[in-house]
Amino acid sequence: MPKPENPRNYSALPVSDVAELLGVTDRQVRNWIKDKGLQSKSDPRGLMLDWPTTLKWYVAYQADKNLGNGGNRRPIPGSDGSEVPTETLEEAILRKTMAEADLKELQLAREQGQIVAITDLERVLANSNRSIQTQVLALPAGLAPQLIGMDDRQKIFNLIDRSCRSLLSNLANIDAIRQARAQEPESEEE
């Protein structure tokens, strides 16, 4: 009959072994002993813990820690030291009705196009930025032929100013975003 590789006496384990078994650090176990009431005994080898007692304590500790309040529910009475009255049936029905109304409003807003997905917005903005970049980079190429031979500073200034204002007016128009959105299927096909 094979012998166990590392037989342990689980009735008295040092902090390091308990930490290893629970998957936590030694410091965490010591903090539980100091602050949370985990029972231990001190002997010449250091702090020793009874494994069955420790495991029972740990399970109860995790259950209390993970209990939470279920999101929208009121805090558990006495969890913070104060008594909180339980929710009545009328209050629960009212809370449910309000949640359902909020959900319906969100659905309606989505159907009316008042709410968009972040990924859709990111795609439209990226296409819009590409459109802006294209128009800004095309400005010098469009102005260069018109500027050739001009020597009047005021005329050059007026031409550049008029072109920049026209470009900015076009970019400020909501149609620039619509054009970017219209370009989406083309860029997806490529």
pTM for this entry: 0.36
Tokens of 145: 């032929």
SS (HEC) of 139-183? HHHHHHHHHCCCCCHHHHHHHHHHHHHHHHHHHHCCHHHHHHHHH
Separation CA 30–CA 110 (nearest Å): 52
Q: Who's near 115: CB < 8 A, 6+ residues apart?
A: 106, 109
Separation CA 137–CA 161 (nearest Å): 16
Where exactly are the structural domains of the chain? 13-67, 118-189
Q: Is the pLDDT of residue 147 over 90?
A: no
DSSP 8-state assignment for residue 114: S
Residue 27 carries which side chain, given as an amino acid letter? Answer: R
Q: Which residues sit opposite 41 in a β-bridge?
A: 48
- The fold of 13-67 is Multidrug-efflux Transporter Regulator; Chain: A; Domain 2 (1.10.1660)
pLDDT classification of 187: cutoffs 50, 70, 90: very low
If DSSP codes are grouped into helix, strand and coil, which group holds residue 42? strand
* Range scoring the smallest mean pLDDT among 10-14, 40-44, 46-50, 170-174: 170-174
Nearest to 15 by CA among 55, 61, 47: 47
Nearest to 26 by CA among 50, 9, 46: 46
